[in-house]
């Protein structure tokens, strides 16, 4: 009889161990789901939180021939802009791209207003957009 009781006892212990293993497996799955969900949400957060580049703002500036109108030293007539009182030669467009520079309303004869988008790099203004504004009519 002792042998039979001992076998029943071992069988009962085996069932309890099996039950705990199954339950721990279920808990492990739940934990794994939580971890995977957390990683997924974290990766979405990182992807959406990347630095967003600010779109450069359009500035209204004076535009003219740097040498003829702004008194800059250069090698001939070259388009320039004046930003906050400081003059910069332009990269990204040329003086001849906007009409005859030596006409009565050209860059060598007049300072005009322009809407520009760009940035100052070293001693030059690198323009990505340049739009010459209509001249103001004199009263």
| Cα three-residue angle 64-127-59, rounded to 5 degrees | 75
Looking at residue 112, its pLDDT comes to 93
pLDDT band at residue 124, thresholds of 50, 70 and 90? very high
Considering only residues 139 and 93, tell me which one the structure prediction assigns the higher pLDDT.
93
Torsion angle of the four alpha carbons 77, 62, 69, 119, in this order, in degrees rounded to the nearest 10: -50
Q: What is the DSSP letter of 126?
A: E
Confidence of residue 41 (pLDDT cuts 50, 70, 90): confident
What is d(CA 95, CA 69) in angstroms, rounded to the nearest whole number?
Answer: 13
Are 92 and 126 within 8 A, CB to CB?
A: yes
The pLDDT mean for the chain works out to 84
Tens digits of residue pLDDT in 58-94: 999 999 999 999 999 988 899 999 999 999 999 999 9
- Interatomic CA distance for residues 112 and 93, integer angstroms: 15
pLDDT at 15 over 90: no
User: Quick one: pLDDT band at residue 3, thresholds 50, 70, 90?
Assistant: low
Q: Does the pLDDT at position 16 exceed 90?
A: no
**DSSP string computed for 106-124:** STTT--EEEEEEEEEETTE
pTM for this entry: 0.59
Most confident residue range from 2-6, 15-19, 131-135: 131-135
Task: Compute CA distances 87 → 58, 66, 67, 115, whole Å.
Answer: 17, 7, 10, 15
């Amino acid at each position: 009889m002792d042998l039979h009781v001992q076998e029943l006892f071992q069988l009962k212990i085996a069932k309890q161990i099996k039950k705990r293993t199954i339950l721990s497996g279920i808990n492990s799955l739940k934990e794994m789901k939580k971890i995977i969900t957390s990683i997924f949400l974290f990766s979405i957060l990182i992807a959406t939180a990347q630095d967003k580049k600010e779109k450069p703002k359009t500035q209204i500036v004076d535009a003219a021939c740097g040498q003829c109108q702004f008194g800059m030293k250069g090698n001939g007539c070259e388009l320039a802009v004046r930003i906050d009182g400081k003059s910069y030669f332009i990269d990204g467009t040329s003086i001849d791209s906007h009409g005859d520079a030596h006409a009565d309303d050209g860059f060598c004869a007049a300072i005009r207003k322009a809407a520009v988008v760009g940035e100052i790099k070293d001693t030059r203004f690198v323009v990505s957009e340049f739009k010459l504004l209509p001249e103001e009519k004199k009263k």
